Amino acid sequence: MKINHQDRLYIIECSEGYSCLGFDVLDRRAVRLSQELDCIFHTSLPHGEFKYNEYCLLQNLAAERFKETGKRCNCELHPMLRGLHGERVEVFFKNGTKERFRVGRTIGCIPIYLRLKNSLSTGGPAIDRDEEITSVRKIS
pLDDT above 80 (res 43): no
Instruction: State the pLDDT at residue 94.
Output: 95
The answer to whether the beta carbons of residues 52 and 24 sit under 8 Å apart is no
Per cent of the chain over pLDDT 90 is 84
Burial of residue 28 (CB within 10 Å: 0-12, 13-18, 19+) is middle
Instruction: State the pLDDT at residue 44.
Output: 80
Instruction: State the pLDDT at residue 77.
Output: 97
140: confidence class by pLDDT, cuts 50, 70, 90: confident
User: What CATH topology corresponds to 79-139?
Assistant: SH3 type barrels. (2.30.30)
pLDDT in tens, 78-128: 999 999 999 999 999 999 999 999 999 999 999 999 999 988 888 899 999
The answer to whether the beta carbons of residues 31 and 22 sit under 8 Å apart is no
Average pLDDT, the chain: 93
Residue 82 is given by DSSP the state: T
pLDDT above 80 (res 30): yes
pLDDT above 80 (res 42): no
* Count of C-beta atoms within a 10 Å radius of residue 103: 23
What's the full length of the chain, in residues? 140
Domain ranges of the chain: 2-69, 79-139
Of residues 82, 88, 89, 124, the one with CA closest to residue 106: 124
